[in-house]
Homo-oligomer: A and B are copies of this chain.
Amino acid sequence: MDGFTVWFTGLPSSGKSTLALGLERAIAARGRRVVRLDGDEVRQRLSKGLGFSKEDRDENIRRIGFVAGIATRCGGVAIVSAISPYRSVRDECRAEVRRFVEVFVDCPLDECIRRDVKGLYKKAIAGEIKNFTGVSDPYEPPLNPEVTVKTADGTPEKGVDRILETLTTLGYL
């Protein structure tokens, strides 16, 4: 069966990892081979030495796109969760992977700051972290994502179900 990539993009603490984990389980339960590529983890494996300038972020995302493309060509399902704040490099990844499903994890900044899963917004607002997406660095939402999940409303389970429906409609599942 042909592979595909599901790419979660959104602000820090918007809920990307939760959805990615839920989707990973649901797809593995269907007997498909899945690899989950978490932005922070992949940075350790592929991008030691890169920082958080636009140029370095873009390079990091390109590398994730390269790996997602390989997983897809091998018939696997790549699930990427990465802030990936810049539209143009996400579109580069889409062009490379081809069977590419972009999921916009849409959550108001206030709510992300309230959640602050890793305590990084607090540090960024205090000026202790520079180039922090949503505070001191831009986030460009997708213009035509295949799915938008508003994580301030509804449960993660419902979000995962919506994505699974889209994947079925696209003929990928």
User: Which residue of chain B has the shortest Cβ distance to A2 in the bound complex?
Assistant: B33
Q: How many copies does the complex hold?
A: 2
- Closest-CB distance, A51 to chain B (whole angstroms): 11
List of B residues within 8 angstroms of A150 by Cβ: none
How many residues on chain A are close to B (CB under 8 Å)?
A: 20
A48 to B58, CA, bound (A): 13
What string of 1s and 0s marks CB contacts (under 8 Å) between A56-95 and chain B? 0001001100110011011110100000000000000000
User: Which residue of chain B has the shortest Cβ distance to A56 in the bound complex?
Assistant: B49
A135 to B61, CA, bound (A): 36
- Closest-CB distance, A66 to chain B (whole angstroms): 5
A50 to B48, CA, bound (A): 10
What string of 1s and 0s marks CB contacts (under 8 Å) between A1-40 and chain B? 0010000000000000000000000000000010100000
At the interface, yes or no: A45 with Cβ under 8 Å from chain B? yes
List of B residues within 8 angstroms of A66 by Cβ: 45-46, 67
Apart from A35-B74, A75-B75, list 7 A-B contacts with CB within 8 A.
Answer: A33-B75, A46-B46, A49-B49, A67-B67, A70-B74, A74-B78, A76-B76
- 15 residue pairs of the A-B complex, CB under 8 angstroms, read A33-B75, A35-B74, A45-B63, A49-B50, A66-B67, A67-B67, A67-B70, A70-B70, A70-B71, A70-B74, A70-B76, A74-B74, A74-B76, A74-B78, A76-B76
